């Protein structure tokens, strides 16, 4: 495919990569593992990330690869099966001998593969917001930590622009990310004077479809005299019936605003968003960002996918950032050796489609802006709040008591 390379060079910033050594340039193709669910409950979210990696790989090859070596994708499908993620990770590292992997969405899938990458000294780029409470020398986390998404989102709900909520409903899918994030949020809310009596917390399995009873309970909880808001850590295709039920029961943003941490443009593409106008999402990027780099990103994506209606989203941007940083680090190191690339990654910077510069810090997390967006009738988000600068990640939350003596950020 022709990606109009000259126009994209400014976006991707890879045209001026340092030359690698002659020995490096003479090597075999660089193998890039892609570890995303292409079937099952998470396919709604992860398939676009597979395609983002393939798009970036094709672009890089059109520029001559890295140091003269071409890139070759190795794609596997863990099928939203958490133990299978570990098996597929081992296959990528031991059978295909990939030089790097991009993959996972849920924290349970990441935790499934983490011991494999540590045991075999592989390198994984993880592109999705998560609960923190982790730091591995074999993973680079390009999504948000709680202080780059969850905490600012709830601060917004508690403030005048977010409706000055006094009661919070925590709705999540039943696995580690929602439960740990909500533990952090409960500590944060308590610190703001909101007692446990004013916090409702419920979890549902992956793929949950019957939301009528839960949404009815939310309405009763909100009807007890205090301004109420919903914080959603619902993941995957369960979001479609959840949002449909909000509309069915007439829950409007001006009455009970809902802020989501795992719903972006891709998930909304399959929903009638007209009843959801005004509900919120918190991310580090929205497709509606008005920035030259974002216009190039959206154009590049639609040109690659050959569909002028396809959307971009936050985890796609995080995938792009991670890929660019990895390519820069390989070129700087002059090798794909994991140890050398890991060292070269620290301090890498990318002018991101968000309109901000992201930098990889020593804790393997990015600096990122925080944005709050309101759902619009066309399935896009209107950005109603954003930080003036990118902020560093605190992957060990101060609202977890055990972290009192840990280094953060």
The answer to whether residue 365 sits within a structural domain is no
Between 307 and 15, the more confident residue is 307
Tell whether 390 and 296 lie within a shared domain: no
- The 10s digit of each residue's pLDDT in 81-96 is 999 999 999 999 999 9
Tell whether 242 and 295 lie within a shared domain: no
Between 118 and 274, the more confident residue is 118
Residue 384 pLDDT? 97
Average pLDDT, integer, range 174-201: 97
**Bridge partners (DSSP) listed for residue 31:** 72
Listed residue (179, 251, 175) closest to 207, CA to CA: 175
The answer to whether residue 119 sits within a structural domain is yes
pLDDT at 2 over 90: no
Listed residue (108, 99, 52) closest to 266, CA to CA: 52
Residue 18 pLDDT? 46
Tell whether 252 and 308 lie within a shared domain: no
Contact 170, 157 (CB under 8 A): no
CATH assignment at residue 190: 3.40.50.2300
Average pLDDT, integer, range 313-329: 98
> Which residues lie below 8 Å from residue 351, measured CB to CB, with a gap of 6+?
13, 293, 357
Residue 407 pLDDT? 60
The answer to whether residue 200 sits within a structural domain is yes
Domain count, the chain: 2
Tell whether 187 and 267 lie within a shared domain: yes
Tell whether 197 and 77 lie within a shared domain: no
- The 10s digit of each residue's pLDDT in 21-59 is 555 667 799 999 999 999 999 999 999 999 999 999 999
Rounded to the nearest integer, the mean pLDDT of the chain is 93
Tell whether 233 and 376 lie within a shared domain: yes
CA dihedral (365, 286, 387, 255) positive or negative: negative
Residue 271 pLDDT? 79
The answer to whether residue 127 sits within a structural domain is yes
Tell whether 213 and 335 lie within a shared domain: no
The answer to whether residue 315 sits within a structural domain is yes
- The 10s digit of each residue's pLDDT in 136-148 is 999 999 999 999 9
Tell whether 314 and 375 lie within a shared domain: no
Instruction: Grade residue 19 by pLDDT with cuts at 50, 70 and 90.
Output: very low
Average pLDDT, integer, range 175-184: 96
- The 10s digit of each residue's pLDDT in 289-306 is 999 999 999 999 999 999
Q: CA 125, CA 127: separation in Å to the nearest integer?
A: 6
> Which residues lie below 8 Å from residue 347, measured CB to CB, with a gap of 6+?
359, 360
Three-state SS string across the chain, please? Answer: CCCCHHHHHHHHCCCCCCCCCHHHHCCCCEEEEEECCCCCCCHHHHHHHHHHHHHHHHHHHHCCCECCECEEEEEECCCCCHHHHHHHHHHHHHHCCCCEEEECCCHHHHHHHHHHHHHHCCCEEECCCCCCCCCCCCEEECCCCHHHCHHHHHHHHHCCCCCCCCEEEEEEECCHHHHHHHHHHHHHHHHCCCCHHHEEEEEECCCCCCCHHHHHHHHHHHCCCCCEEEEEECCHHHHHHHHHHHHHCCCCCCCCCEEECCCCHHHHCCCCCHHHCCCEEEECCCCCCCCHHHHHHHHHHHHHHCCCCCCCCHHHHHHHHHHHHHHHHHHHHCCCCHHHHHHHHCCCEEECCCCCEEEECCCCEECECCEEEEECCCCCEEEEEECCCCECCCCCCCCCHHHCCCCCC
Average pLDDT, integer, range 351-363: 98
The answer to whether residue 80 sits within a structural domain is yes
Residue 23 pLDDT? 55
pLDDT at 10 over 70: no
Tell whether 109 and 220 lie within a shared domain: no
Tell whether 151 and 53 lie within a shared domain: no
- The 10s digit of each residue's pLDDT in 112-128 is 999 999 999 999 999 99
The answer to whether residue 388 sits within a structural domain is yes
Contact 385, 290 (CB under 8 A): no
Contact 224, 169 (CB under 8 A): no
CA dihedral (13, 19, 21, 26) positive or negative: positive
- Which structural domain range is residue 334 located in? 5-143+291-359
Average pLDDT, integer, range 210-227: 96
Tell whether 20 and 48 lie within a shared domain: yes
The answer to whether residue 17 sits within a structural domain is yes
Q: CA 226, CA 162: separation in Å to the nearest integer?
A: 14
pLDDT at 8 over 70: no
């Amino acid at each position: 495919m022709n990606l109009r390379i000259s126009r994209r060079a400014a976006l991707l910033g890879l045209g001026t990569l340092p030359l690698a050594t002659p020995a490096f340039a003479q090597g075999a193709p660089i193998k890039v593992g892609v570890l995303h669910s292409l079937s099952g409950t998470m396919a709604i979210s992860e398939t676009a990330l597979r395609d983002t990696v393939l798009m970036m790989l094709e672009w890089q090859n059109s520029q001559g690869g890295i140091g003269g070596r071409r890139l070759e994708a190795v794609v596997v499908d863990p099928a939203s099966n958490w133990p299978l993620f570990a098996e597929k990770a081992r296959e990528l590292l031991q059978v295909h001998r990939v030089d790097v992997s991009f993959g996972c969405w849920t924290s349970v899938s990441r935790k499934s593969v983490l011991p494999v990458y540590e045991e075999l000294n592989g390198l994984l780029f993880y592109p999705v917001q998560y609960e923190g409470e982790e730091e591995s020398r074999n993973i680079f986390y390009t999504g948000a930590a709680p202080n780059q998404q969850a905490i600012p989102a709830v601060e917004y709900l508690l403030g005048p622009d977010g409706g000055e909520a006094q009661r919070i409903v925590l709705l999540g899918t039943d696995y580690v990310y929602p439960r740990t994030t909500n533990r952090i949020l409960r500590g944060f809310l308590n610190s703001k004077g909101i007692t446990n009596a004013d916090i409702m917390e419920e979890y549902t399995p992956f793929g949950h479809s019957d939301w009528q009873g839960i949404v009815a309970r939310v309405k009763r909880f909100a009807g007890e005299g205090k301004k109420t808001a919903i914080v959603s850590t619902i993941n995957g295709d369960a979001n479609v019936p959840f949002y449909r039920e909000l509309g069915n029961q007439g829950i409007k943003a001006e009455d009970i605003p809902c802020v989501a941490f795992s719903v972006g443009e891709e998930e909304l593409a399959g929903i009638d968003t007209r009843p959801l106008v005004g509900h919120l999402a918190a991310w580090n990027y929205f497709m509606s960002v008005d920035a030259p780099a974002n216009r190039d990103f959206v154009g590049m994506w639609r040109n690659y996918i050959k569909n002028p209606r396809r959307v971009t989203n936050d985890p796609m941007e995080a995938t792009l950032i991670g890929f660019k940083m990895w390519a820069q680090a390989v070129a700087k190191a002059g090798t794909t050796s994991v140890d050398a690339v890991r060292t070269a990654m620290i301090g890498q910077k990318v002018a991101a489609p968000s309109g901000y510069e992201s930098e990889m810090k020593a804790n393997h997390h990015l600096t990122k802006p925080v944005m709050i967006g309101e759902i619009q009738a066309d399935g896009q988000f209107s950005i109603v709040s954003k930080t003036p600068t990118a902020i560093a990640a605190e992957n060990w939350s101060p609202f977890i008591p055990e972290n009192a003596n840990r280094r953060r950020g």
